A and B are shown apart, each in its own frame.
Chain A
Amino acid sequence: MSEVLVEREAVVGPIVSPGELLPYAVFAGVLLSVVVYFVGAEAGAMSVLGSGAVHEFVHDARHLLGFPCH
């Protein structure tokens, strides 16, 4: 009986604090932004590499993942 109560309590509480999560979240958010930038946008006025090779290489992924292209 008491074991059942312990089990039910265990599922209720949060498993990590926001402070513990924050540095990971910042890093993952930056990583996602970089990936979305290179897959989805790296072209034209927003281009940082200039050559357009990355833009062309992931061209089909950009269309099929729903990013605007051409």
Chain B
Amino acid sequence: MVRALLVRGMLVGLAAGVLAFAFAFVFGEPQLQAAIEFEDLRAAGAGEPGQAEPIGRSAQRTIGLLTGTVALGVAFGGLFALGFAYAYGRIGLPGARLTAACLALAAFATITLVPFTKYPANPPAVGGGGESIDQRTLLAFAMIAITACALVAAVRLHMQLTRRLRAWDAALVATGVFVAVIVVAQLILPAGDEAPPGFPADVLYHFRLASLGTSATLWLTIGLGFGVAAERLLPPRARHARG
């Protein structure tokens, strides 16, 4: 069962990676290119020589982008399948498709959406000032880890509170705890990157929107696609059960 779920998860992840690539290529690449042109213009203005790129832009924006999204899609899809195998029948959600959709939503919120409110995705030329790349990478992963811990704590708290409080009150308290942890983390962690003077605001906005859309496409495909694949795989009795 685990093996079959894992294989389907990786296949769905592969498809998710391809779709995420398509979204990123159509909506993200024009913004990324605009940011690189701004960067080159600024470097030329400062009298810096143009950098010799070891990999051409045409490879980076096509096959390189596809490689990145597909590799991440397959890895996420496989791990998602294992998370599903554990969660199915344990977290009290009826049906494979609803379980998969909720898990994917939680993954998107934990890995992308909530950390994004502190350290949003940046196009080239934005960032690099202040903290080093190693520090910024560490901070980004710290924010993801904090969000994951807050989510797990909130879910466990919710499961305990539902025995004593009414469902809506339990949900409110758990949500409040989650938000409080995120707010404290936001206040403690150092500020993210600032755009350099003159960087076009609409390029920054549209790049970040495209980045969110790329991750949303990835998780939407995994959540909905894997739900269908798992439903077909699970025993018919469970499949037809209405909960």
Residues of chain A having any CB pair with chain B under 8 Å: 6-8, 10-16, 18, 20-21, 24-25, 28-29, 31-32, 35-36, 38-41, 43-46, 51-53, 56-70
Minimum CB distance partner of B71 in chain A? A35
Residues of chain B having any CB pair with chain A under 8 Å: 1-3, 6, 24, 28-29, 32, 53-55, 59-61, 64-65, 67-69, 71-72, 74-76, 78-79, 82, 85-86, 88-90, 94-95, 112, 115-116, 119-125, 127-128, 132-134, 136-137, 140, 193, 207, 210-211, 214-215, 234-235, 237-238, 240-243
Q: Evaluate contact between B60 and A11: CB separation under 8 angstroms.
A: no
6 A–B contacts, CB within 8 A, in A order: A18-B86, A35-B74, A63-B122, A64-B210, A67-B140, A68-B119
Closest Cβ of chain B to A45, distance in Å, is 6
What 18 additional pairs, Cβ within 8 angstroms, besides A11-B95, A24-B6, A61-B65? A6-B237, A7-B240, A7-B241, A7-B242, A12-B89, A16-B2, A21-B2, A56-B60, A57-B55, A58-B67, A58-B68, A59-B55, A60-B29, A60-B32, A60-B64, A63-B28, A63-B122, A63-B124
CA distance A62 to B235 in the complex (A): 40
CA distance A45 to B243 in the complex (A): 52
Q: Evaluate contact between B140 and A31: CB separation under 8 angstroms.
A: no
Q: Evaluate contact between A16 and B64: CB separation under 8 angstroms.
A: no
Closest Cβ of chain A to B133, distance in Å, is 6
Q: Which residues of A contact B115 (CB under 8 A)?
A: 66
> Contacts A24-B82, A44-B134, A65-B215 given: A35-B89 contact, CB under 8 Å?
no
> Contacts A20-B2, A67-B140, A70-B133 given: A53-B122 contact, CB under 8 Å?
no
Minimum CB distance partner of A43 in chain B? B133
> Contacts A60-B32, A66-B112 given: A39-B85 contact, CB under 8 Å?
no
